[in-house]
Chain A
Amino acid sequence: MIDLRLIPDGGLSWLDASGPLSNIVLSTRVRLARNLDGVPFTVRAGDAERRRVLELVDRVWERSPVARGGMRFLVDDLEPADRLLLHERHLISKELVGAERGRSHAAVYLAGPLGLMVNEEDHLRLQVFRSGFALSEAYADLERLDRELGAALPVAFHQEFGYLTACPTNAGTGLRASVLIHLPGLVLTKEIAKVLQGLTQVGLTFRGLYGEGSEVVGNFFQLSNQTTLGKAEEELLDHLGKIVRRVVTYEEQARQVLLRDAPTIIEDKVWRAYALLRYARSLSFEETMNLLSGVRLGVGLNLIPRLGVYTLNKLLIYTQPAHLAALDMRVPQDQEQRAARAAYVRAVLEDEAARPA
């Protein structure tokens, strides 16, 4: 049995809301896709080849100064519930949650804000999380890890196409940078469709909370670069950063419009959301996300005093199904899960309200 509680900060240091604009931009994530030369990509690789990849990476990781104090988990050794837990923290992909037991040789390495998935769709998926809006800081961390791995491992690289990946949508830099952004103002003023449409015109894309193929809940969007080839890393980051900054400005303007034109409605909406979270006895995940969105807006507009963004971030993660199950050490049925969620939210909010100002 592997105890995920041993992970420093739970691999969730970004929750502390210490980063720039962290009230609107929850987190910044950057990932790089890399493959080892001379080994078939993961899906086509045999058991022995996957094991070889894992052994090679192990050796580099053990010596790596970047990885100092880090941990490694073999996905094969993780219980399904623990895999889900790591997935809810965005530390392993959906693909690895469903990885066939005992045959995958998939692993996840964690060291502070850095993570490294092995034998995912690509042999190596390096990623980093930062609190708030911090693209260049995040990439700087990641670049160091990439250098270390690249200096010790043969990496598949093509003079014209750049870094080669299992899916051509990732070739070139292999870089996908994304920010998790909260846009209730744009949703309430119905401007969001235009903003999202605009994104696709400038080479960006958006997704829901859990990345590719996931629904947008609670007005949380992941904005990221769509293309990975033909532009340098700095250009990709710079472009995304500029657009995100603009979206943040639009969001702030929309919030001011709401406050100016419909102050009572907004204030009521925000406090109703808070009241439900504080006192409800049964909460679905989706309802919780929507209410957290309302409360988060209230905190951003200084309507709700004495409630920290850190608490809201924590609620976002810990009210997910696998996290609730972990609190209880059993997998609750749907009804029980809703009750457990409501109880957890109540306890956290009561605690926060009782704290002296």
Chain B
Amino acid sequence: MRCDNCGEREAAIHLTQIVNNSVTTMHLCEQCAAEKGVETGAGVAKFPLGDFLASLGKSGGGKQEELAAGVACPACGGTMNDFRQTGRLGCARCYTTFEPHLRDLLRRLHGSTQHVGERYAAPPAAGPAEAAPTAPDTRVSALKEQLRRAVEAENFELAAELRDRLKVLE
């Protein structure tokens, strides 16, 4: 297959992008891909956390980050400085304490901040030992959402499986 850009060299990079729910695929040779700034190095995606942690330490990060470096989480006492040093957060509350930073980081790491998929349903406080599984209602709506996304992405294999699972639940 020839490169879509130069039409001369063999295409080696097949870049599939999803923009506004439509899927486009570009076939590029390594040279054109590099010129277009398509990241191909294995190192790029490998240590985003390290890069982020390093960038936290730079003073160029603005006042907000400098301030946050000293703020301690009320639940565990952890700070952004601790996080920078260890790469680990202190507790679940840290996600709320440092929410703006973490939202930014999560977006960089995962390309998204909104969790989809299994949702945790707290067990009934004084319920019997055999706690109920996730309420069928939330299971159904979660599956429906996944089904919608699967159809959008034209992933019919997955869609069929999800539809079958929905049938069982409904």
Q: Are the C-beta atoms of B115 and A168 separated by less than 8 Å?
A: no
In angstroms, Cα B42 to Cα A198, docked, is: 9
**Is there contact, CB below 8 Å, between B110 and A229?**
yes
Partner of B106, one of A41, A168, A200, A226: A168
Q: How far is the CB of A199 from chain B (nearest CB, A)?
A: 8
Q: Which residue from chain A places its CB closest to the CB of B146 in the assembled complex?
A: A232
Q: Tell me which residues across on chain B come within 8 A of A227, comparing CB atoms.
A: 109-112
Q: Give chain A nearest CB distance to B109 CB in angstroms.
A: 6
Residue among B91, B121, B129 with max Cβ neighbours from chain A (10 Å)? B91
Does A44 lie within 8 Å of B95, measured CB to CB?
Answer: no
Indicate if B114 sits at the interface (CB-CB under 8 A). yes
How far does the alpha carbon of A40 sit from the alpha carbon of B94 in the complex, in Å?
A: 10
- The DSSP consensus for interface residues of chain B is loop
Interface residues on A, range: 35 or more
The total of Cβ contacts below 8 Å across the A-B interface reads 158
| One of B92, B105, B116, B131 near A231 (C-beta < 8 A) | B116
**When the two chains form their complex, are residues A151 and B132 in contact, meaning their CB atoms are under 8 A apart?**
yes
Q: Considering the complex, which residues of chain B in the window 141-170 have a beta carbon less than 8 Å from any beta carbon of chain A?
A: 142, 146, 149-150, 155, 157-158, 161-162
Q: How far is the CB of B29 from chain A (nearest CB, A)?
A: 12
Would A229 and B115 be within 8 Å (CB), given that A168-B109, A238-B157 are in contact?
Answer: yes
Pairwise interchain contact B117-A234, C-beta atoms closer than 8 A: yes
CB contacts (< 8 Å) of B112 on chain A: these are: 227, 229-231
Determine if A155 is an interface residue (Cβ-Cβ < 8 Å): yes
Q: Which residues of A contact B96 (CB under 8 A)?
A: 158
In A197-236, the 8 Å CB interface with B consists of 197-198, 200-203, 205, 226-235
Cβ contact of A151, chosen from B92, B95, B118, B123, cutoff 8 A: B123
B44 CB within 8 Å of chain A: yes
Chain A, Cβ-Cβ closest to B153? A235
**Please, how many angstroms separate the alpha-carbon atoms of A198 and B30 in the complex?**
12
Alpha-carbon separation in the docked complex, A226 to B42 (Å): 12
Which residues of A lie under 8 Å from residue B134 when comparing CB positions?
147
Query: What is the CA–CA distance of A233 and B157 in the complex, to the nearest angstrom?
Result: 15
**Known interface pairs A169-B49, A201-B13. Does A37 touch B92 (Cβ–Cβ under 8 Å)?**
yes
Which of these, B90, B109, B111, contacts A169 with CB under 8 Å? B109
Q: How many angstroms from the CA of A238 to the CA of B87 in the assembled complex?
A: 29
B76 lies within 8 A of A40 (CB): yes
Q: How far is the CA of A228 from the CA of B12 in the complex (A)?
A: 27
A230 and B113 contacting across the interface, CB-CB below 8 Å:
yes
Interface presence of A172 (CB below 8 A): yes
B131 touches A151 (CB 8 A): yes
Contact in complex: A160, B91 (CB < 8 Å):
no
In the bound complex, CA of A203 to CA of B15 (Å): 12
- B155 near A162 (CB under 8 angstroms)? no
Q: Does A319 contact B (CB under 8 A)?
A: no
The tally of residues in B whose CB lies under 8 Å from a CB in A reads 59
B109 adjacent to A234 (CB under 8 Å): no
B42–A233 contact, CB under 8 A? no
- Point out the residues of chain A lying under 8 angstroms from B75, CB to CB: 40
Q: Kindly name the residue among A146, A164, A168 whose own CB sees the greatest number of chain B CB atoms within 10 A.
A: A168
List the A residue with the shortest CB-CB distance to B161: A234
Whether A63 is near chain B, meaning CB under 8 Å from some CB there, is yes
Cβ–Cβ contact B102 & A160, under 8 A: no
Instruction: Find out whether the CB atom of B88 lies under 8 angstroms from the CB atom of A43.
Output: yes
B68 CB, min distance to chain A CBs, angstroms: 15
Chain B 57-116 interface residues, beta-carbon cutoff 8 Å to A: 75-76, 78, 86-92, 95-96, 102-103, 105-106, 109-116
CB neighbours of A107 from chain B (8 A): none
Task: Find out whether the CB atom of A229 lies under 8 angstroms from the CB atom of B113.
Answer: yes
Q: Does chain B have a CB within 8 A of A163?
A: yes
Known interface pairs A150-B120, A157-B120, A227-B110. Does A235 touch B42 (Cβ–Cβ under 8 Å)?
A: no
> Which of A146, A151, A153, A235 is B158 in contact with, Cβ under 8 Å?
A235
Docked complex Cα distance between A63 and B76 (Å): 31
Least Cβ distance of B153 to chain A in Å?
A: 8
**With a CB–CB cut-off of 8 A, which chain A residues contact B121?**
150
Query: Contact: B110 with A172, CB < 8 Å?
Result: yes
B113, A41: Cβ atoms closer than 8 Å = no
User: Does A317 interact with chain B (Cβ within 8 Å)?
Assistant: no
Task: Please state if B115 and A205 are interface contacts (CB–CB under 8 Å).
Answer: no
In the assembled complex, 5 residue pairs joining A and B whose CB atoms fall closer than 8 Å, in A order, are: A39-B91, A151-B130, A152-B131, A166-B89, A200-B46
**Among all A-B residue pairs, the 3 with the closest Cβ atoms:** A230-B112, A162-B115, A232-B117
Interface residues of B (CB under 8 A from A): 12-16, 39-42, 44-46, 49, 75-76, 78, 86-92, 95-96, 102-103, 105-106, 109-123, 129-134, 142, 146, 149-150, 155, 157-158, 161-162
* Chain A residues within CB distance 8 Å of chain B: 35, 37-41, 43-44, 63, 121, 143, 146-147, 150-158, 160-164, 166-169, 171-173, 194, 196-198, 200-203, 205, 226-235, 238
